[in-house]
A and B are shown apart, each in its own frame.
Chain A
Amino acid sequence: MRLALILGAALLPLSLASVMIGAASVDWAHIASDPQAFLIVTVSRVPRTVAVILTGAALAVAGVVMQQIVRNRFVEPGTVGTAEGAALGLLAVTVLAPAAPIWAKMLVASLGALAATAIFLALIRRLPPREVLLVPLVGLVLAGVLQAGVTFIGWQTDLLQYVGIWLMTGEFSGVIAGRYELLWIAAAAAALAWFAADQFAILGLGEEAATGLGLNHRAVMRLGLLVVSVVTAMVVVSVGMVPFVGLVVPNIVARVMGDNLRASLPVVATGGAALVLACDLLARLVRYPYEVPVGTVLGILGSVLFLWLLHRAPARG
């Protein structure tokens, strides 16, 4: 409970700072009478802040869901090929049907993410359950293979620059009103996970225990797959993949609160939002008035946190 309060309390000043800080200067004293400043705030700053919060919250929840369906703490959509699958789908639709409407691109990206995650799940079914670290390794290998495919196609079709934005460096500088609203779908998918929180928690006990309690194991797996794929695809389509959020936040929250998801999912969502918001602010400030991508900041911060987590929790699944 304390963790929830701390994170909730951190989110408000972070959001305020996010609205205040940016390359353009805004005269807050005359905000109502200055149409230019008003425009900057309503079209750029507020949408950006909202986009960051939605992305962080949804990715953190997707991380939890993936960890429950895989029953392994060291995976997230960014490290098992889900994001690469979404990029592959997006690339395919961009190359084959460049004039397709945005909803079609979104759908194909989601299907790509779904297919990649399903392949990952099929691959790890054959792994011995005790080998906790093999699962994330297989994920990294699959993600690497898919990414190689994406890069090859991107190279051949001169779309490498897009690929870079989708997969390497998620960033929010391009967010303006009208260009981020897909993220609400990601948030809705994450909210769906909260309604099934008990079922995901029971799934984490293993197939036997879940079946014994009358849970439809496959149906819950499918729901989890859907949540993870939709969240990832929406994030990849609108701002590009933001790494490590889905890994670091759920692990820290589970350490403190455990895996009773009904109680912990809101905390995970708040924590994800706060982390990405803090990193986005950092990304805006380190080379002010220029920006570095938030994905780069999280890549550095997240990998350090991840190594620390691996070091602290060696053998637990």
Chain B
Amino acid sequence: MIRIDNVSHRIGTAPILQGIDLTLLPNSVTALIGPNGAGKSTLLNLIGRLIPLQEGRISVDGHDVTTTPSRQLAKVMAILGQTHHAGSRLRVRELVAFGRWPHHLGRPRPEDQAAVEAALVQFDLAGLAERFLDEVSGGQRQRAFLAMCIAQDTDWLLLDEPLNNLDMAHARALMARLHGLRSAGRGIVVVVHEVNYAAAWADHVVALKGGRVVAEGTPHQVLTPEVLGQLYDMEIRVTELDGRPLILHHV
């Protein structure tokens, strides 16, 4: 369980998050949605201890993110930030293998290698494993970073807009994969821009705007014309498909 108690964050004098209280459950996919600048990424990065917490408390499975050693947290949660420019010239397999580093600290065991190979196959990267990261496409690079996170094999997975750069087939495959991990008992927190992915795959949706939680609940509770209209300041039609909301935001 991830507990977020009264978390506020500011950059300079601009408030980014204000008094956030949330409880995120394992065994579920939680989607963070909201307009640009709502504070989604900041919240995710605070949970993932990528930026220091200014106010409030966050704990992941009982580990306080400010006091628990980073190396220990790396075995509890994996986080993929939004920007990963491949300045490094690593091969795809070498990058994915770094996902195992928190477990073996430089001495890979057979099970580490097996986990890397499995992650490469899952993300359709086996044929690209020996290519350098700066010699593959943006979507392929995104998949390589995702495979690294999966190889880290943690109870919690925090992903900031993982669907960036992915084509339809790989985007759906990723969501299905996350759904599978959730059924295996993991907790997934994912920032998504395309609300229909939240509608189709999330168990829990948190809507943020202006640094505050505007609504949270099941997709049916949050993804309504009223909430979405208020969230994005536009009129949005919502229908239903196979028992899930379908948001017609593009028409």
Give the distance in Å from the alpha carbon of A72 to the alpha carbon of B87 in the complex: 8
Residue of B nearest to A71 (CB): B87
Contacts A201-B90, A206-B84 supplied; 11 other A-B pairs, CB < 8 Å:
A72-B87, A198-B98, A204-B87, A208-B45, A208-B81, A209-B84, A211-B70, A258-B90, A259-B88, A260-B90, A317-B85
Given contacts A201-B88, A254-B89, contact A209 B73 (CB under 8 A): no
A57 to B50, CA, bound (A): 35
Whole-angstrom distance between the alpha carbons of A204 and B84 in the complex? 11
Query: Which B133-176 residues have C-beta < 8 A from chain A?
Result: 134, 145, 149, 152
Q: Does any Cβ of B come within 8 Å of A128's Cβ? A: no
Q: Which residue of A lies closest to B80 (CB)?
A: A212
Tell yes or no: A191 within 8 A of B by CB. Answer: no
Determine whether the beta carbon of B101 is less than 8 Å from that of A202: yes
Can you show 21 pairs from A to B with CB atoms below 8 A apart? A71-B87, A202-B98, A202-B101, A205-B84, A205-B88, A206-B85, A211-B48, A212-B74, A212-B149, A213-B74, A213-B99, A213-B102, A213-B152, A214-B73, A214-B75, A214-B101, A215-B101, A255-B89, A258-B91, A260-B90, A260-B94
A190 CB to nearest chain B CB (Å):
18
Give the complex CA separation of A71 and B89 in angstroms: 11
- What is the minimal beta-carbon distance from B192 to any residue of chain A, in angstroms? 19
Q: Is the CB of B88 within 8 A of A216?
A: no
The 8 Å CB contact of B102, one of A207, A208, A209, A214, is: A214
With A202-B98, A206-B85, A206-B87 already in contact, the answer to whether A258 and B73 are too (CB < 8 A) is no
Residues of chain B having any CB pair with chain A under 8 Å: 45, 48-50, 69-75, 78-81, 83-85, 87-91, 94-95, 98-99, 101-102, 106, 132, 134, 145, 149, 152
**A259 engages B89 (CB within 8 Å):** yes
Map CB proximity to B onto A202-234 as digits: 1 under 8 Å, 0 otherwise.
Answer: 101111110111111000000000000000000
A179 interfacial by beta-carbon distance below 8 Å: no
| In the complex, chain B residues whose CB is within 8 Å of the CB of A206 | 84-85, 87
Distance of A102 from chain B, by nearest CB (Å): 35
Are the CB atoms of A214 and B88 closer together than 8 Å? no
Question: Which residues of A are found within 8 Å of B79, using beta-carbon distances?
Answer: 212
Q: Which residues of B contact A216 (CB under 8 A)?
A: 70-71
Interface string of A48-89 (1 = CB under 8 A from B): 000000000000000000000001100000000000000000
CA distance A316 to B49 in the complex (A): 28
Cβ 8 A contact of B87, one of A258, A262, A316? A316
- CB-CB under 8 A from A198, the residues of chain B are 98, 101, 106
List, in ascending order, chain B residues with CB within 8 A of A259's CB: 88-90
A262 to B91, CA, bound (A): 13
Q: Is B50 in contact with A317, judged by CB distance below 8 angstroms? A: no
| CA A201 to CA B85, docked complex, whole Å | 14
Report chain B residues within 8 Å CB of A254. 89
Q: How far is the CA of A211 from the CA of B72 in the complex (A)?
A: 11
Determine the residue in chain B with the shortest Cβ distance to A256: B89
| A214-B84 in contact (CB<8A) | no
A214 to B100, CA, bound (A): 11
Residues from chain A with a CB closer than 8 A to the CB of B145 are: 209
Query: Contact string, A100-127, partner B, CB cutoff 8 A, digits 1/0?
Result: 0000000000000000000000000000
**A211 close to B87 (CB less than 8 A):** no
Q: How far is the CB of A314 from chain B (nearest CB, A)?
A: 12
Contacts A202-B101, A214-B102: A208 and B91 contacting too (C-beta < 8 A)?
no
CA distance A213 to B48 in the complex (A): 11
List A contacts of B90 (CB < 8 A).
201, 205, 258-260
Cα distance A212–B65 in the bound complex, in angstroms: 12
Across the interface, which residues of A come within 8 angstroms of B49, CB to CB? 211
Query: What is the chain B residue whose CB lies nearest that of A207?
Result: B50
Q: Taking CB as reference atom, which chain B residue is nearest A132? A: B87
User: Given A214-B71, A214-B74, A260-B91, is A209 in contact with B106 using a C-beta cutoff of 8 Å?
Assistant: no
The distance in angstroms between the C-alpha atoms of A214 and B101, with both chains bound, is 9
